[in-house]
Amino acid sequence: MKIVMLGAPGAGKGTMASRLSAHYNIPHISTGDIFRENIKNQTELGKKAKAFMDEGALVPDELTCDLVADRIRKADCKEGFILDGFPRTIPQAEALTKELSKTDEKVDHVINLEISDEDIVERMSGRRSCPKCKRIYHTVTPSLKPKTDGICDDDGETLVQREDDKPEVVLKRLSVYHEQTEPLVDYYRNLGVLDSVSGKNAIDEEFDLITKILDK
């Protein structure tokens, strides 16, 4: 089962993709994680990606398509995969369609998480993470607040806000999303594989709705 997660930055694609990955035992492939790993290791790709990500812009197609094509051909993707953060543009989607068609395959399901820009800004600007263990917290959401403000529950590290979670960058990211990524909704609707689900549902409710769609 080959799944693509769609939705604005902060809609919850990564959280849901991780749960679906565990449920269906297929890999969760996040281009964001790949880029961040390259940034951490200060590779040439990482340096280029960081410049775009810090501005809230999309990493250009040519830096991503070959990487993703190589990843989905690895052995652990034999039974399927969940793409989170790719494709982000029509050319990327066309490249994915072309790559899969080489072996008479296609994307089976596209799950679009719908949520308003206002809710996205509140959700993302309140997000904090531990620089050591990477655990995610939130300044507003009760279930995600740390026991001590600004401190990781697990290792006592001071929590940080990612550059691309700051309100001004979030608004820029949303503008880019509406212009370049949102057209994928119609692209995949025309292919007959799109289902939309509210991104404001409780996580368990959202998970149940999506698995019912995927298990049809």
Mean pLDDT value across the chain: 91
pLDDT of residue 119: 92
The answer, yes or no, to whether residue 214 has pLDDT greater than 80, is: yes
The tokens of 180 are what?
Answer: 């370049």
83-133 pLDDT, tens per residue?
998 998 999 999 999 999 999 999 999 999 999 999 999 888 899 999 999
Q: Which residue has the higher pLDDT, 170 or 216?
A: 170
Q: Which residue has the higher pLDDT, 21 or 162?
A: 21
The tokens of 146 are what?
Answer: 């740390």
**What number of other Cβ atoms are within 10 A of residue 179's Cβ?**
11
pLDDT bucket at 177, cuts 50 / 70 / 90: very high
C-alpha dist (Å) from residue 215 to 1, 11, 26, 114:
10, 22, 15, 21
Q: Where are the domains of the chain?
A: 2-109+179-214
pLDDT bucket at 62, cuts 50 / 70 / 90: confident
173 is catalytic: yes
**DSSP type of residue 60:** P
The tokens of 168 are what?
Answer: 């001004």
User: Under 8 Å CB-to-CB from 35, ≥6 apart: which residues?
Assistant: 45, 46, 49, 50, 53, 59
Q: What is the mean pLDDT of residues 180-194?
A: 96
The answer, yes or no, to whether residue 37 has pLDDT greater than 80, is: no
Catalytic choice (19, 88, 123, 128): 88
Q: If we measure between CA atoms, which residue out of 195, 196, 6, 211 comes closest to residue 93?
A: 6
Kindly state the helix (H) or strand (E) to which residue 52 belongs, with its residue range.
helix 44-54
Q: Which residue has the higher pLDDT, 73 or 2?
A: 2
pLDDT of residue 68: 84
Q: Which residue has the higher pLDDT, 14 or 110?
A: 110
Enter the CATH code of domain 2-109+179-214.
3.40.50.300
Q: Which residue has the higher pLDDT, 134 or 2?
A: 2
The owner of tokens 């309140």 is 126
- How far apart (Å, rounded) are the C-alpha atoms in residues 146 and 94? 42
Catalytic choice (13, 19, 50, 123): 13
C-alpha dist (Å) from residue 44 to 33, 37, 39, 88, 206:
16, 12, 8, 22, 38
The answer, yes or no, to whether residue 38 has pLDDT greater than 80, is: no
The answer, yes or no, to whether residue 26 has pLDDT greater than 80, is: yes
User: For the chain, what is the largest distance between any 2 Cα atoms, rounded to a whole number of angstroms?
Assistant: 53
Say if pTM beats, i.e. exceeds, 0.85.
no
Catalytic choice (19, 123, 127, 128): 127
The owner of tokens 């370049």 is 180
127 is catalytic: yes
135 is catalytic: no
User: Under 8 Å CB-to-CB from 198, ≥6 apart: which residues?
Assistant: 113, 114, 115, 206
pLDDT of residue 189: 97
Strands 194-198 and 136-138: unpaired
**What number of other Cβ atoms are within 10 A of residue 93's Cβ?**
22
Catalytic choice (135, 162, 166, 189): 162
The answer, yes or no, to whether residue 34 has pLDDT greater than 80, is: no
User: Under 8 Å CB-to-CB from 205, ≥6 apart: which residues?
Assistant: none
The answer, yes or no, to whether residue 32 has pLDDT greater than 80, is: no
Q: What is the mean pLDDT of residues 170-194?
A: 95
pLDDT bucket at 77, cuts 50 / 70 / 90: very high
Q: How many CA atoms lie within 13 A of 30 on its CB side?
A: 16
